[in-house]
Chains A and B, each alone.
Chain A
Amino acid sequence: MSSDKYLDQLKREGRIVVVGASLAGLRGAETLRAEGFTGSLTMIGDEPYEPYDRPPLSKQVLLGRATADHTALPRRRAIDAEWRLGVAAAGLDMAARRVRLADGDEVEYDRLLIATGVRARPWPQEDEAELDGVFVLRTRDDAVALERALAQSPRRVLVIGAGFTGSEIASACRERGLSVTVAERGAAPLVGALGGVVGEVAAKMQREAGVDLRTGVMVTALEGDSSGHVRSARLSDGSSVETDVVIVSLGATRNTEWLLGSGLGAGPRGIACDAGCRAFDVRGIVTDDIYVAGDVARSPHALFGYQFLSLEHWGNAVAQAETAAHNMLSESVDRRPHMWVPAFWSSQFGVNIKSVGVPSMGTEILIAQGSREERRFTGVYGYQGRVIGAVTFDQTRWLPFYEQLIETTAPFPPPFPTVDRRPEGNRPLPADFPDPSVPSHGPTVTLSGYSPADRRMTFTPARH
Chain B
Amino acid sequence: MRLVVDLNRCQGYAQCAFLAPDVFAMHGEEALLYDPQADDSRRDEIARAVAACPVQAIFAEGLDGTDGTPAPAQEATREQ
Contacts and interface: CB of A to CB of B under 8 A. Distances in A.
Is the pairing of A and B real?
A: yes
Interface of A: 53, 55-56, 59-60, 63, 65-66, 70-78, 314-315, 318, 343-345, 347, 349-352, 354, 376, 394, 396-397
Given A350-B31, A394-B30, A315 B37 contact: no
Contacts of B29: 350-352, 376, 394
18 contacts: A53-B4, A56-B36, A65-B35, A71-B37, A72-B36, A74-B62, A77-B67, A78-B68, A343-B8, A347-B31, A347-B32, A351-B28, A352-B12, A352-B28, A352-B30, A354-B8, A376-B29, A396-B30
A78 B4 CA distance: 17
Interface string B1-29: 01110111011100000000000010111
Q: Which residue among B2, B3, B30, B60 has the maximum number of chain A CB atoms within 10 Å of its CB?
A: B30
Contacts of A352: 12, 28-32
Nearest to B29: A394
Interface of B: 2-4, 6-8, 10-12, 25, 27-37, 59-62, 66-68
Contacts of B28: 347, 349-352, 394
Contacts of B61: 74-75
A203 B62 CA distance: 42
A36 to B, nearest CB: 14
A143 B25 CA distance: 22
Contacts of A76: 59, 66-67
B53 to A, nearest CB: 14
B48 to A, nearest CB: 17
A55 B27 contact: no
A143 to B, nearest CB: 12
Interface centre among B12, B27, B59, B61 (most CB of A within 10 A): B27
Give me the 5 closest cross-chain CB pairs, A-B, nearest first: A350-B28, A74-B61, A347-B31, A70-B37, A352-B31
B33 A63 contact: yes
Contacts of B6: 315, 318
